[in-house]
Amino acid sequence: MPMKKCVLHIRVTGQVQGVGFRAYVKTQADERRILGWVRNLSDGSVEILSLVPEEQRSSWVETLRQGPAGSAVVSLDVRDLPPEEVGSRVEDFREFRIERVLE
């Protein structure tokens, strides 16, 4: 029986750019076999879209809240998205990647 997964859209604010935050997120995602992407936004925040096994949801969010050394997370806005809202983008997830900055 396949594991139940949830799609999380997360926006992280604080000192999260220029401190290795995206690389940290990718490393943590790869270790947990979480799929999706992370990118910097032009307002200084970081955006994450991730496909997470339901039983890892809480620990994933807490890992992001901690962040790497040198970061200072002020807030995490976590939204659960219904898979149909994300559409084929979820089916296209084959890995976790760092995407270009969204201007």
Residues annotated catalytic, as ranges = 22, 40
Q: Which long-range contacts (CB under 8 A, 24 or more apart) does 53-56 make?
A: 53/3, 53/4, 53/5, 54/3, 54/4, 54/5, 54/6, 55/3, 56/32
Bridge-partner residues for 35, per DSSP?
Answer: 51
